[in-house]
């Protein structure tokens, strides 16, 4: 091929380029003709891409021009039909005896005022209480002095409020049933299930104490003082602490399920952090061991930082990838787990 021939793209001479080429025509072409055909397709594709870029740039220019013309039309409309159309803007204005540097510049549009939604719309799941405000005494008309009647119209407003916590005593009566014919049986209605059967505290109170302590970080002693302000003095702090133990025992099956789900993950993240033990052991410096997957997290508290803790957990897990820091305990855990897995034919960590 001695030279290239540019194809000028237009509506009249491009229709045939996109028609399907019969297969038998390719079989009659030589290798040099096929090469020329491929080069021609490349040139055509390049021109089509360039043509599309030109069209997009032209479309953007037209869109910008349309926006500009629209703004100019709005300005002209305000000048002709606006309230101050008879007044031409002053070329200069003085502020404090000095020339205002902002004079003559187009006035900036004020940002649209942010619409504040009503509390009932912002918090649709919160309970809604409607309160009617009425006159306590009949009201007389200021024109004829006759008594006014309710028109059915209201002036509404919404606000957020909070009902303080209340403590009260519940007396539960379990009815006894007897046989009125033979008088040989007496059966008592079963007690509702409780976190701690026979406890002096309800399930609601036990959960509230635990959530306040462990989620809101309110110490038990402070909760006792709060209850005293609400009219219930003398709550024993030690008894409230025991309720958190009852709740922990009650939720232990959930804890075990979290452990099973976490250790069943192929990718396991591990880390440990110091944790103080306030009571129940002579050693105050304990460690929180955490293992997590994409779906769940599991924690154990131990008085040691030995890698045996991680080794025991990893050996019984499905972990194949362990993500941790460079603490040597995790290297030991992976090494010991791999020895056992090699014997059982399981994948190594």
Tell me the three state secondary structure of residue 65: helix
Which residues sit opposite 176 in a β-bridge? 188
- Choose the weakest-confidence range: 5-19, 23-37, 83-97: 83-97
Given a cut of 70, whether residue 128 has pLDDT beyond it is yes
Which residues neighbour 47 within 8 Å (Cβ) at sequence distance 6 or greater?
A: 6, 7, 9
d(CA 50, CA 59): 14
Q: At what angle do helices 328-344 and 308-315 cross, to 10 degrees?
A: 30
The residue that leads in pLDDT, 158 or 5, is: 158
Element (H, E) at 164: none
Q: How many CA atoms lie within 13 A of 243 on its CB side?
A: 25
In eight-state DSSP terms, residue 75 is: H
Phi and psi at residue 243, to the nearest 5°: -65, -35
**Mean pLDDT, residues 262-291:** 88
In eight-state DSSP terms, residue 182 is: T
pLDDT band of residue 346 (cuts 50, 70, 90) is: confident
Tokens matching residue 1: 């091929």
* pLDDT for the residue numbered 18: 66
**Length of the chain, in residues:** 349
- The dihedral built from the CA positions of residue 161, 164, 168 and 174, taken in this order, carries a sign that is positive
Given a cut of 80, whether residue 295 has pLDDT beyond it is yes
Question: Are the C-beta atoms of residues 246 and 196 closer than 8 Å to each other?
Answer: yes
Phi and psi at residue 323, to the nearest 5°: -105, 115
Question: Are the C-beta atoms of residues 333 and 311 closer than 8 Å to each other?
Answer: yes
Given a cut of 60, whether residue 289 has pLDDT beyond it is yes
d(CA 195, CA 49): 72
User: Environment class of residue 212 by beta-carbon count within 10 Å: exposed (0-12), middle (13-18) or buried (19+)?
Assistant: middle
**Mean pLDDT, residues 290-312:** 92
Tokens matching residue 196: 């701690």
* pLDDT for the residue numbered 12: 54
Phi and psi at residue 301, to the nearest 5°: -105, 130
Which residues sit opposite 269 in a β-bridge? 292, 323
Residue spans per domain, the chain: 15-59, 197-250, 252-344
Given a cut of 60, whether residue 97 has pLDDT beyond it is no
Given a cut of 50, whether residue 94 has pLDDT beyond it is no
d(CA 111, CA 301): 55
Q: What is the mean pLDDT of the chain?
A: 83
Given a cut of 60, whether residue 164 has pLDDT beyond it is yes
Architecture of domain 252-344: 2-Layer Sandwich (3.30)
Taking CA atoms, 345 is separated from 264, 337, 342, in Å, by: 17, 12, 5
- Percent of residues, the chain, with pLDDT higher than 70: 85
The residue that leads in pLDDT, 30 or 224, is: 224
d(CA 151, CA 179): 61
Q: What is the CA radius of gyration of the chain?
A: 41
- Choose the weakest-confidence range: 133-142, 264-273, 276-285: 276-285
Q: Are strands 285-292 and 297-302 parallel, antiparallel or unpaired?
A: antiparallel
Task: Say whether pTM exceeds 0.75.
Answer: no
Given a cut of 90, whether residue 223 has pLDDT beyond it is yes
């Amino acid at each position: 091929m001695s030279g290239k021939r540019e194809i000028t793209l237009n509506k009249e001479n491009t229709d045939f380029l996109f028609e399907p080429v019969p297969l038998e025509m390719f079989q009659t072409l030589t290798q040099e003709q096929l090469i020329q055909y491929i080069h021609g397709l490349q040139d055509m594709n390049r021109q089509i891409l360039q043509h599309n870029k030109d069209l997009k740039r032209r479309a953007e220019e037209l869109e910008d021009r349309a926006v500009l013309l629209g703004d100019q039309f709005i300005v002209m409309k305000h000048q002709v039909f606006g309230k101050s159309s008879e007044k031409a803007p002053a070329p200069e204005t003085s502020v404090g005896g000095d020339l205002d540097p902002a004079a003559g510049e187009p006035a900036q549009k004020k940002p649209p005022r942010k619409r504040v939604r009503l509390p009932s719309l912002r918090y649709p799941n919160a309970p809604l209480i409607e309160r009617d405000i009425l006159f306590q005494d009949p009201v007389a008309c200021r024109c004829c002095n006759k008594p006014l009647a309710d028109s059915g119209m209201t002036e509404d407003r919404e606000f957020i409020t909070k009902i303080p916590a209340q403590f009260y005593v519940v007396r539960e009566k379990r009815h006894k049933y007897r046989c009125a014919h033979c008088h040989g049986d007496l059966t008592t209605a079963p007690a509702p299930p409780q976190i701690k059967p026979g406890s002096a505290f309800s399930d609601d109170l036990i959960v509230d104490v635990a959530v306040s302590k462990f989620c809101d970080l309110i110490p038990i002693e402070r909760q006792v003082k709060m209850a005293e302000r609400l009219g219930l003095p003398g709550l024993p702090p030690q008894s409230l602490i025991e309720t958190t133990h009852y709740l922990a025992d009650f939720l232990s099956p959930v804890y075990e399920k979290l452990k099973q789900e976490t250790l069943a993950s192929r990718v396991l993240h591990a880390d440990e952090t110091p944790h103080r033990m306030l009571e129940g052991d002579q050693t105050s410096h304990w460690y929180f061991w955490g293992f997590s997957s994409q779906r769940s997290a599991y924690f154990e508290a131990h008085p040691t930082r030995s890698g045996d803790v991680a080794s025991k957990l990893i050996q019984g897990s499905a972990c194949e990838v362990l993500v941790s820091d460079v603490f040597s305990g995790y290297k030991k855990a992976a090494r010991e787990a791999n020895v056992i897995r090699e014997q059982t034919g399981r994948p190594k960590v």
